[in-house]
Amino acid sequence: MEEAAAAAKLISRDRITDAAATILFSTDDSVKIPERFVRTDEVEAAGEVVGEDEAFELPVVDMAKLLDPELSASETAKLGAVCRDWGFFQLTSHGVDEEVIRRMKESAAEFFRLPLESKNAIAFGGEDKFQGFGHHFSTGPAAAAGKLDWAECVFLVTQPVHGRKMELWPPNPPSFRDALDKYSTETTDLTRRLLRFMAADLGVSEEALVGAFFSTSGGAFFSISGDVKGQSVGIHHYPPCRQPEKVLGISPHTDWPGLTVLLHAVDTPGLQVRRGGRWLPVRPLPGALVVNVGDILHVLTNGEYMSAEHRVVPDAERCRITVAMFQDASVDGMVAPLPELLEGGQGRARYRSIGKHEYTKGNFVALAEGARFLDSLKK
Ligand SMILES: O=C(O)CCC(=O)C(=O)O
Ligand SMILES: [Fe+2]
């Protein structure tokens, strides 16, 4: 535990200064983007963006079809195929309460409209650089060079409830805490629903897969340096940037927890998924959520489901606000392929098992170095 906490200190994350905010929120087209934000080399080295003219879209999975007895089998097969081939999809008819979504969107947007001083009242501080308000994490050479992302964000642990650091939950707008609490419950339920269909597709028991995400055995509670499953949130604001090709909203990464559910609070495009060496811009469908496989689910499924690389670029004209819910998982305190997938000689483990503490620590160390920890687990 202590080692993981020590590794968490390696995270490179910057506070949002007055100077940074002046640049991020400037509406003056003639303002020169300072070197600290300029990432042209990284953007160019990362590969081309798929053109608007190419009929190439992120797949869509429909929860209503998954739940319909007549359509469930074929939609479950589609869900499985998409998780194997893409690791990313848009989810329609997801069943998350519309009013809960509306309040979450409004509260997030209102929070980012506050003066910087109010937002910095919940800035990350001390040794926990994960929770609180600030820039996103920087990784690898960009972090070493002191580069900044074109974004402001709040990270918080949302589940279990007793793992929350309430002092870092925005007190303003007054609706925020309740909105996030309700949204957290709804997305927990949604994740559970989705996992049932993933279990059916994988041919494992619901108990095994859903249990990997939600069992409470062990009794301890989630902390960023701990080993127990929980949910955390990243609420992001990407202001418009007049020269978007020079900067990055979030640099390329995979999500190290298990499953991510992303809500567009302001549905400006900006998310790009790596596909065949190029970047595919996601065009958010009205009312849909974007779901992606994280590294732990990748390992649990022995690499059958794919945790795909993604990044965010800001828009030239419009701001973008998103709420990403990350659900963590482990099996008896381990990040490991599900035993059911390996039973009866069905296959060999393609990833080595690792204790959850060590996994968390490994991810922080790799994040700091700009490496992908998952790769080091391949057998
Ligand atoms: O804001 C987005 O579209 C993506 C956010 C993301 O990738 C993350 O928080 O890990
Ligand atoms: Fe992500």
Evaluate the CA torsion angle 361, 257, 170, 266 in order and state its sign. Answer: positive
Taking the CA of 319 as reference, the closest ligand is: 1
324 lines ligand 1 (CB under 6 A): yes
Please, which residues have CB within 8 angstroms of residue 298's CB and are 6 or more apart in sequence? 87, 305, 306, 307, 374
For residue range 184-206, list pLDDT tens digits in order. 999 999 999 999 999 999 999 99
**What phi and psi values does residue 276 have, to the nearest 5 degrees?**
55, 40
Evaluate the CA torsion angle 19, 21, 24, 28 in order and state its sign. Answer: negative
295 lines ligand 1 (CB under 6 A): no
Task: Name the pTM for this structure.
Answer: 0.95
Ligand 1, residues 322, 323, 325, 363: which to mutate, most atoms within 8 A of Cβ? 322
Question: Ligand 2 centroid vs 310 CA: distance in angstroms?
Answer: 6
113-116, Cβ contacts within 8 angstroms, sequence gap of 24 or more: 114/172, 114/173, 116/16, 116/18, 116/21
Taking the CA of 150 as reference, the closest ligand is: 1
For residue range 73-99, list pLDDT tens digits in order. 999 999 999 999 999 999 999 999 999
For residue range 224-279, list pLDDT tens digits in order. 434 467 999 999 999 999 999 999 999 999 999 999 999 999 999 999 999 989 99
Question: Ligand 1 centroid vs 73 CA: distance in angstroms?
Answer: 30
Domains annotated for the chain, with CATH where assigned, are 2-376 (2.60.120.330)
What is the distance between the alpha carbons of residues 372 and 310, in angstroms, rounded to a whole number? 13
Instruction: Please give the distance of CA 338 from its chain centroid, rounded to a whole number.
Output: 22
Residue 117 DSSP SS3: helix
What is the distance between the alpha carbons of residues 21 and 341, in angstroms, rounded to a whole number? 49
Residue 228's pLDDT is what?
64
Residue 219's pLDDT is what?
41
271 lines ligand 1 (CB under 6 A): yes
Report residue 343 as tokens: 């039973």
265 lines ligand 1 (CB under 6 A): no
Instruction: Please give the distance of CA 297 from its chain centroid, rounded to a whole number.
Output: 13
Nearest atom in ligand 1 to the alpha carbon of residue 290 is: 3
11 lines ligand 1 (CB under 6 A): no
Q: Is the preceding peptide bond at 337 cis, omega within 30 degrees of 0?
A: no
Evaluate the CA torsion angle 290, 294, 299, 303 in order and state its sign. Answer: positive
322 lines ligand 1 (CB under 6 A): yes
What is the distance between the alpha carbons of residues 161 and 214, in angstroms, rounded to a whole number? 13
Residue 151's pLDDT is what?
96
Low-confidence ranges of the chain (pLDDT < 50): 1, 217-227
Residue 232's pLDDT is what?
95
255 lines ligand 1 (CB under 6 A): yes
Residue 44's pLDDT is what?
86
**Residue position matching structure tokens 């100077």:** 19
250 lines ligand 1 (CB under 6 A): yes
Instruction: Please give the distance of CA 165 from its chain centroid, rounded to a whole number.
Output: 19
What is the distance between the alpha carbons of residues 139 and 364, in angstroms, rounded to a whole number? 10
What is the residue with the minimal CA distance to atom 1 of ligand 1?
A: 322
Burial of 109 (0-12, 13-18, 19+ CB in 10 A): middle
199 lines ligand 1 (CB under 6 A): no
Question: Ligand 1 centroid vs 155 CA: distance in angstroms?
Answer: 11
Q: How many residues does the chain have?
A: 379
DSSP conformational letter for 169? S
Report residue 253 as tokens: 């990464």
149 lines ligand 1 (CB under 6 A): no
Taking the CA of 253 as reference, the closest ligand is: 2
Q: Are 131 and 149 in contact (CB under 8 A)?
A: no
Element (H, E) at 87: none
Bridge-based pairing of strands 60-62 and 88-92 is: parallel
